[in-house]
Amino acid sequence: EPTTDEPTTDTTDTTDEPTTDTTDTTDDTSDTDPTDTTDTGGVDQDPPQNGAELLPWLEGGAYKGWKAESAPHPSTGPHFGTVRTYINDVLFESLESMNQEHPMGAAAIKELYGDGDTVLGWSVEVKFQANSDGGNGWYWYENYNGNVFADGDGVALCYGCHAAGNDYFRSPYPLQ
């Protein structure tokens, strides 16, 4: 009978130890909160999806910490002369993984320079739903020299050309 009591005591001690370890693990998890922005250096990865909020966000350069092409270059599309593309971390990780469809939250911003070296506008695309839905699952915005050419979901003017890209993203990747 003394042999039976000893394992019972050991089991109780073992049960107490994992409870302490579980508490420590919870503390470690709170230090790596997935909503913490320090991983992106505090860079906003989620542009507004309406022109009234987006334009000041763009003018403030909130996207400047995103991955970007090394320098402005002549556009190969209809985007007003010289351009430079920026992509957020969601789109970057999707492109790195060679996904055929990008996740919700993927975003790209193209600075529009015209013939000079000053930014005169932006083209923006943000995927706001899991399914691209023929381009309707993307928010599109273009403002050049104060003129708004697109500001909405599923803008045919934009997705008509972008349909040829990898889930509506047309810039060469890796970024040049």
Q: 143: which strand partners?
A: 122, 148
> 120 lies in a domain?
yes
Element housing 158 (H / E): helix 156-162
Lowest-pLDDT range, 39-43, 117-121, 155-159? Answer: 39-43
High-pLDDT (> 90) share of the chain, %: 69
Domain count, the chain: 2
Query: How confident is the model at residue 43, as a pLDDT?
Result: 80
Q: Tell me the average pLDDT across 125-134.
A: 96
Higher pLDDT, 40 or 145: 145
Beta bridge partners of 110: 85, 123
DSSP one-letter code for 103: P
The neighbouring-strand residues paired with 109 are 86, 124
- pLDDT for 77 equals 83
> In the predicted model, what is the mean pLDDT of residues 25-34?
36
Mean pLDDT computed over every residue of the chain:
83
Give the model's pLDDT for residue 29: 35
CA 82 to chain centre: 24
Q: Which residue has the tokens 């969601």?
A: 90
pLDDT value, residue 66 = 98
Mean pLDDT for the stretch of residues 78-82: 88
The answer as to whether 94 is a domain residue is: yes
Half-sphere exposure of 131 (CA within 13 A, CB side): 2
Residue 117 lies in a domain: yes
CA distance 44 to 98: 24
DSSP alpha helix (H) spans, 32-142 = 51-59, 89-96
Per-residue pLDDT tens digits for 94-117: 999 999 999 999 999 999 999 999
Q: Which residue has the higher pLDDT, 60 or 157?
A: 60
Range of the domain at 20: 1-34
Instruction: Report pLDDT for 10.
Output: 43
Nearest to 109 by CA among 155, 158, 58, 71: 58
Q: What is the pLDDT of residue 97?
A: 97
- Per the domain annotation, does 82 fall within a domain? yes
Do 105 and 139 fall within a single domain? yes
Same domain, 30 and 106: no
In a domain, 24, yes or no: yes
The secondary structure element, H or E, covering residue 2 is: helix 2-31
Q: What are phi and psi of 131, to 5 degrees?
A: -95, 130
Render pLDDT for 47-72 as a digit per residue (tens, 0 to 9).
999 999 999 999 999 999 999 999 99
Looking at the structure, tell me whether residues 76 and 123 fall in a common domain.
Answer: yes
Q: Which residues pair with 83 in a beta bridge?
A: 73, 112
The answer to whether residue 171 is domain-embedded is no
